[in-house]
Chain A
Amino acid sequence: MMADLKRVLLAEDSANDVELTLTALAEHRLANKVDVVRDGAEALDYLYRRGNYAERESSNPTLVLLDLKMPKVNGLEVLKQIKADPSLKTIPVVMLTSSREEGDLIRSYELGVNAYVVKPVDFPDFMDAVRQIGGFWAVVNEAPPAAVGA
Chain B
Amino acid sequence: MTITRPSGKSVGMNASVLLGLAVALLCSSNALADVARDVRDGRQDLGTPDGGFIEFGPRLSYSSIPIEGADSGSVDFHVGGYYRFKRFFLDVSQNSHNRVQLGYNAYSSPLWSIDVLGASSEGGIDNRISDELADIDDRRPGLIMGLRGTIYSGPLIAQFEALADVEGLHDGFMMTGSIARNWLVRNWNAHAIIGARYYSAGYTDYIFGVDEDEASDRFPAYTAGASITYVTEIGMSYPLSEYLVLSNTLRYWALSDSIKRSPLLTDDDYTEIATALVFVF
A and B: interacting chains: no
Q: Taking beta carbons and an 8 Å cutoff, which residues of A are in contact with B?
A: none
Q: Taking beta carbons and an 8 Å cutoff, which residues of B are in contact with A?
A: none
